[in-house]
Amino acid sequence: MNVKSINIPIKLQGSIFTTLVLYICSNNINLINNALQKKVQKSPDFFYKAPIILNLSLLPKNSNWKKIQKIIFSNGFLVIGVIECYDSKLKKKILNSGVPIFSNKKNFIQKYTKISKQKKFKSVLYNHTIRSGQTIYAKESDLIIINNVNKGSELIADGNIHVYGQLSGRALAGAHGDHTRKIFCQYLEAELLSISGEYCLIDSIPNNILNKPAQIYLKNHSIHIKKL
């Protein structure tokens, strides 16, 4: 019997989406608050109501989860989950507060890095401007944009990303964990850059490279940006 989709109340399927990861390295509430305020002041529109995942691998033991959670919310962030929390007592407090704990990020990246190395990448080409609100995903492919990428838009590729115009939105290469992928553009002004899950924001782009041709790559688990 065929069932029309209108009669199906929900549908669950896989998706590609991007989320910032915030590392909490101290349990000093004032230090955390000051650091978050400085970060938000640099890009208030970008961070307003931004969903984030907390990485607690560097958080000292016996930290006050309620205070940490409260100060993050007070700065406008929305905590949607936690990764790399190894303190059993803290885990219990986090789950009791209604925040989920996700699987280990490193295992996830290693899994998909092995898969991606076995794939032969093709290319997906777009000639038009990528406008605010648009998300372009190149599955198992490199992504090539022969135009501008506006603020508020998002490029995602399992392979490399090439932009032969102005890159002002988000660009995320190696989306399934391939750390060898790169981003290339002729005019760098990106809100966010990511390779294999590692991120950097526009305030991390050196002034001598901002608005110039550049390549972005990953080295020692850190984003590097160089002139082309």
What homologous superfamily is domain 20-102 in, according to CATH?
ACT domain (3.30.70.260)
pLDDT at position 7, please? 63
Q: Quick one: average pLDDT of 212-221?
A: 92
Confidence of residue 10 (pLDDT cuts 50, 70, 90): low
pLDDT digit string, tens, across residues 23-65: 899 999 999 999 999 888 877 777 878 888 899 988 988 899 9
Confidence of residue 193 (pLDDT cuts 50, 70, 90): very high
Spatial distance between the Cα atoms of 104 and 82, rounded to a whole number of angstroms: 10
Q: What is the largest CA-CA distance in the chain?
A: 64
Q: Quick one: average pLDDT of 72-82?
A: 91
Q: Does domain 117-227 have CATH number 2.160.20.70?
A: yes
Estimate to the nearest angstrom the gap between the alpha carbon of 187 and the chain centroid. 21
What's the burial of 71, exposed, middle or buried (CB within 10 Å: 0-12/13-18/19+)?
middle
Boundaries of every domain in the chain: 20-102, 117-227
Tokens of 48: 């307003």
Q: Tokens 């809100």, residue? A: 191
pLDDT at position 197, please? 82
Spatial distance between the Cα atoms of 196 and 82, rounded to a whole number of angstroms: 18
Q: Which residues pair with 200 in a beta bridge?
A: 193
pLDDT at position 176, please? 84
User: Residue 225: in which H helix or E strand, if any?
Assistant: strand 222-227
